[in-house]
Amino acid sequence: MKLAVLTSGGDSAGMNAVVRAVVKAGILKGCETWIVREGYEGLVRGNTDAETPSSPLLSTTLDVKINDPTFIQNLRFGDGALLRDGTGDHPSGRTLKGRYIVRVGWDDVRGWFAEGGTLIGTARSQAFRTPEGRLNAAYNLIKEGIDALVVCGGDGSLTGADIFRAEWPSLVQTLRSQDRITDEQVSRHGHLRIVGLVGSIDNDMSMTDLTIGAPTALHRICEAIDNIHSTATSHSRAFVLEVMGRHCGWLSLMGGISSGADFIFIPESPPKADPWEDAMCEIISKHREIGKRKTIVIVAEGAHDVNLKPIRAEYVKDVLTDRLGLDTRVTTLGHIQRGGRPCAWDRILPTLQGVNAVDALLEATPDSPSYMIGIQENRVRRVPLVEAVKMTKAVAEAIKVQDFEKAMSLRDPEFRENLEGFIATSTLEKQPLLPPEKRIRVGIMHVGAPAGGMNAATRAVVRYCKRQGHTPLAISNGFKGLLDDNIHELSWLGVDSWTVRGGSELGTNRVLPDIDLGTVASKFQEHHIQALLIIGGFEAFNALMILEAGRVHYPAFHIPMVHIPATISNNVPMTEFSLGSDTSLNALVDACDSIKQSASASRNRVFVVETQGGMCGYIATMGALAVGASIVYTPEVGINLDTLRDDVKWLKKRYALDEKGKSEGRIVIRNEKASTVYTTEVITKIFKEEGGSLFDSRSASLGHTLQGGVPSPLDRAYGARYALKSMAFIEKHHEQLREKKFKARQAGPDSAAVITLQSAALKWVPVREMVEHADMKNRRGKFAWWGKHKGLVESLAARPQLV
């Protein structure tokens, strides 16, 4: 199969990772790989000169590896550098002028991962909207012999893709009748295989949970707001931020949650109050009355009121200035949101989706629908492209006819939950919502190592408690603090800026309650703790187990008890995502980008990067996928002499294949506990010794930097979501106990549980049940959903996999 990939519509971070993944997976599966420059416009224009580097199609499928001669023929065609540097003069004398459909090889897409936007160019093509334009596009594809196309773009681009595929047979017939193609070409190109990937920063596509570029855009928004926080507080100012999103409020909503904003406007759910100005001013003036010095309002560019009258940032500013007398400024983030280095997920997801896209093309038949590759329930999924486009359009149509309930129902359930969560944590009520008898004293503690999102989760708990009338009690320094009576009530305003803070505001350590279980129980009684929320990693899980088991002896533990997993190692059983692991992945990506730069500048250097993670290889594996590492060593798989020997052999071969003078740095990621014998130092020395004149080796240990400084937006948002779900759980179980459903305050085993993310759904697992899924000796879950990605890391480095 000859396959081409193009990027179209507005650019987004992660598009380069798509191109890289499609090219690499294509070559690995025996395809000839091409890129189309400037989106559909490039297809319409095609190549004016006939020069096209050619080499035989790979003969094998699925198992092409570095020693295969056809793989070597597909290493590079020399245009990668041209694409990267622009189309101007190039020392090699090669030019891309007049060439829009370009053959690329493995090394041509090298190092593209870390770059924002799209290196192959994108455009909005008027010509492709016309039948003549699409006829030319078909001709140009057939001329180059291309029979499969990956399109990465927004809903417009995917609509175009679907129309193109539907028209294809008639386009081929027309080209034949015009004598532009031969009968042989007609029979070879009767069917166009096409697959869409959603590259769009708005996250506005239905049937996928995340679009490529949206997570990075959210990072840019949060960075901007984090910077604004300090000046807003210093001057006691209000800031109104306009963010992108014509029909989709995802960026505004997630930005609002992740930055702790005061008010947001989104197209799907305009403020219900009419006039909304009164409602907004009431909420913000309450914040100011209790002493809040800063105000942040986020407006999606497509925001409007219930009557569809647009709500503009400038107008919101006038309202805040005139009615509340606030010194208000407007910041329009504009194109800043598009740009910059992709965050970890915008490298991982496009890679997984790009690989899947190639599979989908290979499996396509004339009768199968064209697919859009998306992410649903944390898994890469194929959905019929037409349906996804139709459903996306339905949201815009529902908004147009003011059916906001329908617009919200067409978004995924998480969207609604997030909106409700935002309101619950940003609105101060005049009176607590619950009557006194239903109010609870909730103890909150952090246990284990600090992780991004712990503070954001705590803030959400506190805000929710205050709204309901509960008493949020900070237990500082974990169980040790409890024994020392280090307990105080937290206030709504006191936790205001905790969303953006890394580390643990409460203080955390690894002390477990069995240090003195009896005294722990008496402290629970003394401080009238009626529910407990523990935020932390494996220790926190352990602590909950001990407390639950202690119920036999201590009535004080017959209360609802919850564990929110928060650990950079992501080693808590049964959950796919612990708070802090995303921050950590991003810290690893940042560090490796810098290391790779240094490694490449010095040429021929292999960096062995050591990560934390304890006995769990999650960070190492997902980090390796996110930085394009060549090899990854995990505790689950371990290291032995045979693998090391193969690794050295492979590195030598790979460096020998590099273009002279253009060798790049390579990254090897090693989890700290992958082997007690083959330490990072030993491996580095072996590589250095064996590399000889081909390559050198250095090591870097990321250590505690992986805990990250500022939590990532995802960890902040998930922190809030986990927290609010936990409070609902606590309230439910408290009520059951209060109603004496259990005799003499006997709390059932399901009232001590861990909140887990399983296939994107939040599920409660009683701590007793968790034990069955835990590898207590190695402090990790028995099943690692990410384990298979180690093979993918090595495939994408053309590293033969060991059986």
Q: For residue 155, say whether it is annotated as part of any ligand binding site.
A: yes
| CB burial readout 140-153, b (16+ within 10 A) else e | bbbbbebbbbbbbb
User: Cα(645)–Cα(687) distance, rounded to whole angstroms?
Assistant: 10
User: Cα(519)–Cα(540) distance, rounded to whole angstroms?
Assistant: 18
> For 119-213, where are the alpha helices, taking DSSP H only?
131-144, 155-177, 183-188
Q: How is residue 557 written in tokens?
A: 């533990």
Q: For residue 568, say whether it is annotated as part of any ligand binding site.
A: yes
Nearer to ligand ATP, 11 or 147 (CB): 11
Give the angle subtended at the CA of 295 by the CAs of 263 and 219, to the nearest 5°. 70
Contact yes or no for 61/28 (Cβ under 8 A): no
Beta bridge partners of 272: none
Type of residue at 452: G
Nearer to ligand ATP, 393 or 763 (CB): 393
Smallest distance from the beta carbon of 204 to ligand ATP, in angstroms? 7
The secondary structure of the chain in percent helix, strand, coil, rounded to multiples of 5, reads 45, 15, 35
- Altogether, the residues listed in the chain come to a count of 803
Q: For residue 614, say whether it is annotated as part of any ligand binding site.
A: yes
Cβ-closest residue to ligand ATP?
156
Beta bridge partners of 474: 444, 488
Which DSSP helix (H) or strand (E) runs through 452?
Answer: none
Smallest distance from the beta carbon of 161 to ligand ATP, in angstroms? 8
- CA gyration radius for the chain? 28
Nearer to ligand ATP, 212 or 330 (CB): 212
Smallest distance from the beta carbon of 121 to ligand ATP, in angstroms? 13
Q: How buried is 303 (Cβ within 10 angstroms: 0-12 exposed, 13-18 middle, 19+ buried)?
A: buried
Q: For residue 134, say whether it is annotated as part of any ligand binding site.
A: no
Q: For residue 567, say whether it is annotated as part of any ligand binding site.
A: yes
Smallest distance from the beta carbon of 381 to ligand ATP, in angstroms? 20
Q: For residue 339, say whether it is annotated as part of any ligand binding site.
A: no
- The residues, ordered by sequence, that sit 6+ positions from 395 with a Cβ below 8 Å of its Cβ are 204, 206, 247, 248, 268, 407, 410, 411
Task: Tell me the three state secondary structure of residue 471.
Answer: strand
Task: Tell me the three state secondary structure of residue 361.
Answer: helix
Give the angle subtended at the CA of 138 by the CAs of 107 and 84, to the nearest 5°. 25
Smallest distance from the beta carbon of 370 to ligand ATP, in angstroms? 14
Q: How is residue 216 written in tokens?
A: 């990075």
Q: For residue 613, say whether it is annotated as part of any ligand binding site.
A: yes
Give the angle subtended at the CA of 112 by the CAs of 111 and 116, to the nearest 5°. 130
Residues that bind ligand ATP (CB under 6 A): 8-10, 40, 124-125, 128-129, 153-157, 159-160, 163, 200
Smallest distance from the beta carbon of 13 to ligand ATP, in angstroms? 12
Nearer to ligand ATP, 6 or 797 (CB): 6
Nearer to ligand ATP, 38 or 582 (CB): 38
Smallest distance from the beta carbon of 128 to ligand ATP, in angstroms? 4
DSSP E strands: which ranges in 139-288? 148-153, 193-198, 238-243, 263-265
Nearer to ligand ATP, 200 or 663 (CB): 200
User: Cα(790)–Cα(454) distance, rounded to whole angstroms?
Assistant: 29
Smallest distance from the beta carbon of 591 to ligand ATP, in angstroms? 31
Contact yes or no for 195/373 (Cβ under 8 A): yes
Give the angle subtended at the CA of 536 by the CAs of 535 and 541, to the nearest 5°. 100
Nearer to ligand ATP, 159 or 569 (CB): 159
Smallest distance from the beta carbon of 352 to ligand ATP, in angstroms? 21
Q: How is residue 534 written in tokens?
A: 């523990």
Nearer to ligand ATP, 383 or 706 (CB): 383
Nearer to ligand ATP, 38 or 576 (CB): 38
Smallest distance from the beta carbon of 533 to ligand ATP, in angstroms? 40
Q: For residue 746, say whether it is annotated as part of any ligand binding site.
A: no
Q: Which long-range contacts (CB under 8 A, 24 or more apart) does 228-231 make?
A: 228/296, 228/331, 229/259, 229/294, 229/296, 229/497, 229/500
Nearer to ligand ATP, 8 or 425 (CB): 8
User: Cα(67)–Cα(639) distance, rounded to whole angstroms?
Assistant: 23
Nearer to ligand ATP, 137 or 700 (CB): 137
Q: What is the 3-state secondary structure (H, E, C) of 716-771?
A: HHHHHHHHHHHHHHHHHHHHHHHCCCCHHHCCCHHHEEEEEEECCEEEEEEHHHHH
Q: For residue 225, say whether it is annotated as part of any ligand binding site.
A: no
Written as one string, the DSSP assignment of 588-649 is HHHHHHHHHHHHHHTSSEEEEEEE--TT--HHHHHHHHHHT-SEEE-TTT---HHHHHHHHH
User: Cα(122)–Cα(54) distance, rounded to whole angstroms?
Assistant: 25
Q: For residue 510, say whether it is annotated as part of any ligand binding site.
A: yes
**Catalytic machinery residues:** 202
Strands 263-265 and 441-447: unpaired
Smallest distance from the beta carbon of 686 to ligand ATP, in angstroms? 48
Nearer to ligand ATP, 42 or 255 (CB): 42
Q: For residue 439, say whether it is annotated as part of any ligand binding site.
A: no
Q: For residue 262, say whether it is annotated as part of any ligand binding site.
A: no
DSSP E strands: which ranges in 402-507? 441-447, 471-475, 487-489
Smallest distance from the beta carbon of 158 to ligand ATP, in angstroms? 7
User: Cα(257)–Cα(380) distance, rounded to whole angstroms?
Assistant: 26
Q: For residue 726, say whether it is annotated as part of any ligand binding site.
A: no
Q: For residue 670, say whether it is annotated as part of any ligand binding site.
A: no
Q: For residue 20, say whether it is annotated as part of any ligand binding site.
A: no
Type of residue at 708: G
User: Cα(682)–Cα(633) distance, rounded to whole angstroms?
Assistant: 13
* Binding-site sequence positions for beta-D-fructose 2,6-bisphosphate: 510, 567-571, 605, 612-614, 672, 698, 779
* Binding-site sequence positions for substrate: 200-202, 237, 244-246, 301, 329, 335-338
* Binding-site sequence positions for ATP: 10, 124-125, 154-157
* Binding-site sequence positions for Mg(2+): 155
* Binding-site sequence positions: 10, 124-125, 154-157, 200-202, 237, 244-246, 301, 329, 335-338, 510, 567-571, 605, 612-614, 672, 698, 779
